[in-house]
Amino acid sequence: MKIRTILATLTAAMLPFAAGAQNASTRIIVPFAAGGATDTVARSLASRLSQIWNQPVVVENKPGAAGTIGARQVAAAPPDGRTLLIVASGHAINELVHEKLPYRTVEDFTAVAQVVDVPNVLLVPKNSPYGNVMELVAASKADPKLLSYGTSGMGTSVHLSGELFKSMSGANLEAVFFKGGAESLTNVIGGHVPLSFNTVPGAKEQIDGGNVRAIAVTSGTRVPVLSSVPTIAESGVPGYDVSTWFGILGPKGMDSAQVRQINADIRTAMTTPDIARQLGERGMIIRVGTPSEFDQLIRDEISKWRPVVEQLGLRGKN
């Protein structure tokens, strides 16, 4: 009996969502406001994990300071698996643009799993004279003051998508910053900016409605819900590949066996047909790798964007 008790105690400590802990709950902190793409993914995941773990999994929105307020809360939480964080690509970029973060981007978290890729898309007004990427590039080179692009904010992954495009294509484009993706989209629809970079989920409805034209997607491969739209790479900028990604982190020091179990359960949840269909229809691509792969992705993203951020002098401007 003593051995059974010890084993049960160890199991409950390792897996707080196990059958013996049904009165407990797990929190997924969303460091952004409700209603956005990150929030949508978190709520879909939480709903399915609640069923898998047979316990409540609640979503808490802690917006502010480019996601750092919610991230700081999770970094300071006990590493017991009950507090998780969903992050987007900006988690890696914050390391580069903020002079002082209230946590260490890699060292103060445990990577659990990437969950989705969210490609961005290059848009023009429906009556734009430009039909493809290279026409845009050629026009910008012929008249360096001709074109600008709308984006959701300085230092965001969408903004850096545009800056990397400029660097790799040689295009002359000036960034115009808006308060968010919706405002950027509205301005390109109205012809107030000649092009913009937006997320596919944020722009898909307007693309489908014919209110704006998609010139190219930023990912390395075509997006299933926009299968006729080429990638920027195949449009004449070889090697270009940018997507916004979402993933799950926990506090540093989580038990490795627990992390592997949560990762496996997230994989099961995200590949459930209804969730895969729901997110896929919005232009999100399910991508659940191992914890170590997600950890490496964050490190690679920091290295990838560092020279871009340094070239633009963005550090300390957010």
Task: For the chain, give the mean pLDDT.
Answer: 90
Total residue count of the chain as it appears in this document? 318
- Decide: pTM greater than 0.85: no
CB 225 within 8 A of CB 200: yes
* CATH level 2 (architecture), domain 119-226: 3-Layer(aba) Sandwich (3.40)
Element (H, E) at 114: strand 109-125
Query: pLDDT tens across 186-199, in order?
Result: 999 999 999 999 98
Query: pLDDT tens across 237-251, in order?
Result: 999 999 899 999 999
Q: Where are the domains of the chain?
A: 26-117+243-312, 119-226
Question: Mean pLDDT throughout 99-119?
Answer: 95
3-state class (DSSP) for residue 30: strand
Nearest to 124 by CA among 77, 64, 190, 168: 190
138-166 burial code (b ≥16 CB/10 A, e <16) = ebbeeeeeebbbbbbbebbbbbbbbbbbb
**Per-residue confidence at 75, pLDDT binned at 50, 70, 90?**
very high
**Per-residue confidence at 23, pLDDT binned at 50, 70, 90?**
low
Note whether 26-117+243-312 and 119-226 share their fold. yes
DSSP class of 151: E
What class, spelled out in words, does domain 26-117+243-312 have in CATH? alpha beta
Which of 137-146, 179-188, 263-272, 296-305 has the least mean pLDDT?
Answer: 179-188
Question: Mean pLDDT throughout 55-63?
Answer: 95
- How far from each other are the two terminal CA atoms of the chain, in whole angstroms? 58
CB 202 within 8 A of CB 37: yes
> What CA–CA distances, in Å, run from 101 to 65, 244, 261, 311?
10, 21, 30, 21
Nearest to 181 by CA among 202, 205, 160, 159: 202
* DSSP codes of every residue in 185-247: HHHHHTTSSSEEEEEHHHHHHHHHTTSEEEEEESSSS--GGGTTSPBTTTTT-TT---EEEEE
Residues of the chain with pLDDT > 70: what percent?
Answer: 92
